[in-house]
Structure 1
Amino acid sequence: MIRVLFVCLGNICRSPMAEAVFRDLVDKENLTGKIEADSGGIGDWHSGEPPHKGTRKLLDKFQIGYKELKARQVNVSDWGNFDYIIAMDEQNRKDMQSVSNKAGSAKLAKLMDFVEDPREGNIPDPYYTDNFDYTYELISEGCNELLKYIRAENNI
């Protein structure tokens, strides 16, 4: 089982959106049982909360499930529990490095690292920009490319 963790600041906007979009892609590609996704936040401010209403609205619009998603804070054990840790922006990537105990072997990257010639290197936080549509566009593009990368790297 290949495990992917999406990370953002509070785990209510970007990372749960990426988790839901990625899970939907995995299901559509008949890879359920081979690839699994989760998400977490650097901070614990929203632990236990569902995704932000803006995220839920976009996922509903595209009929992507999210009902079971609840915010959680990332921790050191995530490094050993996941194969890929995918940050939404450079600060999230740096923050994940600081929670590393170097024991895990997860590959750390930003989601937009998988997109050739991306419009943005970081996915803007719609909690602050209120532009959930743009965030969704970037996340969808990034998740599609990430899945291609994982399939190629793992021969699935």
Structure 2
Amino acid sequence: MTHPKTLITLAIALGSLLVAPAYAQTAAAPSANPAAAPAGLYQALGEKPGITRLMDDFVNRLAQDPRIGGHFKEVKPSALKESLTDQICQLSGGPCQYEGADMKSAHADMDINKGHFNALVEVLQTAMDAQGIPFAQQNRLLALLAPMHRDVITVR
């Protein structure tokens, strides 16, 4: 039997192949295409209050993760939480406006490899599990985030 986390990893890989390359390569914020949001995802994530709780949990876990916590030691947690909340809110079809940097610019000097990216995804999955987000909704969100790996991973 296939482990559910393996299915999520597979969904991320497949999602990155299925999303139009032009969308993934734009210099604009990754959420610039509101039509890409799956219907009902924003509501399934608990709207802004649910997304805020998820990002609070996620950022706290990131800072404590021995694999990737070092990447966040110079980051103000409250600012990261707010930025991620707006980004996920907008990506999922909510009314928020993400005004942060595009993913390529934001991660250009961070020396992020595939292992770091995968660790971050695992931490996000753990946070979503802890927040009671159903598996299907987790996959819908991860499919939206998957194409960002092209711009986030800076060490090949």
TM-score (normalised: structure 1): 0.30
- Name the structure where helix makes up a greater proportion of residues: 2
Return the structure number with greater relative CO, CA threshold 8 A, min gap 6: 2
TM-score (normalised: structure 2): 0.30
- Name the structure where strand makes up a greater proportion of residues: 1
